[in-house]
Structure 1
Amino acid sequence: MMVDEIITVQEDAGFKKEKVSYKNDYLTAVSARIEEFVRNGKMDLIEREFHSPATTSAEVSLSRYSTESPAEKKQVLHLGSYNYSGLNGHPEIINASIDAIKKYGTTSSGVRLLNGTNDLHIELEKRLADFLGMEEAITVSSGYAANLAVLGTLCQAGDIVLTDMLNHQSIVDGLKLSGAKVIPYRHCSLKSIETTLKNYRHVTRKFLVTDGVFSMDGNFAPLVGIVELCERYGVKIIVDDAHGTGHVGPFGKGVCEKLGVTEKIDIIIGSMSKGLPGIGGFIATNSETANILRAAANPYIFSASIPPAVSASVIEAIKILESNPEISRILEEKTYYFSDKLRNLGFDLLNTESSIIPILGRDEDKVFEMTRLLFEKGVYVNPVGYPAVAKSRARIRINLCSSLTYKELDYCIDAIACAGKTVGVI
């Protein structure tokens, strides 16, 4: 339901009020789809409300669109959280956050280049750089802003940028700002990449950007092969490892570390709201590039810096990850256990290699019905449909957390099996 703006237009001797609609064909279709979702109850499951910390279990009710009044609060096992490391709610992190608020207040009240930098930002960025094995790191207000900062600043008219066709929307939007020639390649296809690079040998400035862990399918970018091709053809590599940091690889250092290619990657972009339990994004790179971004990247220059409590939280989280290698190891073991059980039941999990586990349902109605059945059984999962994925690729997306117990996983597996059979996914 779009808002119409009232404007006044002169008409001969008088004035007439007219409505000017913001709608175009695309927005009309969006509005109609929302209305349809409200009518059939699918919107009940979108923007569900949390009434407790979003840890391995949580108290949740249906969304504000629900006709159920008042909405019942249900205790659920949370299989939809980006809290891969299980560090959200960790007592040492909470204490660090509280101490930072007491010392610095709730905000830095400024942008980084003026009055928005405090010593926590400097410490956080140094710890991030060391953790990731890069020279420097920059923090910005979100992972989305980090992609806009890198791609909109470093990639320019006259450049070419190769981008995986399933890259995150923030990469798509960042490339729109760049002015560069954007060339999508087939998902994770080294052959497609090389074919393109052969055709653009003559171009001096070439970039390749890819998700590290693909957020909808859960698979890794083929970074070893990408590095080999990019070295051969003189291409800068940018990896968005938003879903890898604090999740995969030794100590949760991400997919670049897991695949042993960190020193070959020019820029690692990531999030501090997933495996790292805060908010904001980061850019890890060499010192020269970091200085350019500080001076020229609009999302860094024109956005307020991240709050002190978040800086302190992420600093503490990195300390915990560095001293507890079992966090990422246990998560990997539980992921293999969970995925194998579901595959043996007949579910299609695509080619996931991570704790992002898609259950392909194909039919959107079945996916939402299965999500509802699981919610009723006390299991929280996320339904994903068009436009986030193709219309024929609707799915449930599961994100596992390191602190889920095997008993909890077994309960969820049984509930998923029952719901899957009921709706005909298996």
Structure 2
Amino acid sequence: MDASMMNIVIIGGSNTGLMNGIVLKRLGHNVRILEQNTQSQRDDLAAGITTHPVFEEFMERHDHTAESWSIHSPGVQFLNKAAAVTRRLNRPLQMTSWGVIYHHLRANFDGFQSNFCPNPPAPAKGDGDAVFECGKRVTGLVHTISGVEITYEDLLNKKEEGKLLADLVIIANGANSSLRSTIFTGVERVYAGYVAFRGTVPESEVSDEAKKTFDPNLTYNSFNNGYILLYIIPGTDGSIVPGHRRYNWVWYHPLAAGSPELENIMTDSSGVVHRNTLPVGTMQASEWAPYVALASKIMCAPFAEMVRKTTQPFITAIGDVSCPRATAFDGKVLIAGEALNLVRPHMALSTTQSAMQALLLEKVLKREITLREWEEQVLQYGRVSALKTNAFGSFFLYGYLSTAGWLVKLAGALLGHLPPFAWLSASAATESSKKK
């Protein structure tokens, strides 16, 4: 890859695209992000994020705002049905939300001003141009002698067609990327047999008893064929001040593929069936009520309270997808983030994966590693992350016997003997049938 100044287009303006964009513009390259969403100001998504050292390294190096972005959690605790602590782990973690990270990254990429970051940093000497364009749906990529030709629809201008020529393109438009499918035919998202119910409760609405149980730890409660976890995240305005934060929970629950239960809960209030995510604010109250009742039966009281007090739950159908390569078009196209490798959320490694990819790409452009080495490392990281995460989730959902297959594959990946693709779907097809 030529390390001289390039014109780079990133497809997808979420956190993966922004992390790569920040690194590249600070190396002097001109970066244009094409985002399908028509609004720069994005909803918070009510989604919590647990970070790890790689992401924290990224923020330490590349977040030039003066705003705090996380809440410290000193450790992890596990509760039984009586809400008694059965195990503690001294593992400090940083907790945040999608909205906080997105707006911090936007402030650093193109100086976007928001309530989260009202005083974005000024461009530094040597920065390249950074442009964030909303309402651009990319429809095609063509490899040319001069680079990569990008075709897009302008959703803000009567879907008029536009074209761009780039020296380098990064596909970072998520796990459902249609562009990825045109490059790697047959690579599709595979449902894993269970969903994640998610929600938040304002700190002001949480009982004192529940606060005493949870604060300030990452807390788990496991039960037959499922488990729930909870941690504190910033408020909807990014506030980390006690009293203005939120309690964020995730409940993993098996629902068989093709079952009426899955279809019903993934059908929104207007009758539309969603395949992967039922968005915030669209849940049918009649479909959610049985799960609220189930939570009271199977969970300890503090967790049941969180589920009961959540007014805007949403759902993600957990799935797997993995690309055989991270480069295409002779290295002129890179695939990053969940477009490359969808990691189940049990261990919160998705954001970490994107940060690692961006930091390694920085090394490529500085000629510290080759593009081939970048590809080898991001693919290996994705394999190992997915296998560790799947074993972790299977243990809590179905018991230790269900982890055997994942652990064997993990050993193979660590030893370098695992084939680069097609290992996820076979396991996902049978995993949900396994019981404790």
Q: More strand by proportion, 1 or 2?
A: 2
TM-score (norm 1): 0.24
The answer to which structure has the higher helix fraction is 1
Q: Which has the larger radius of gyration?
A: 1
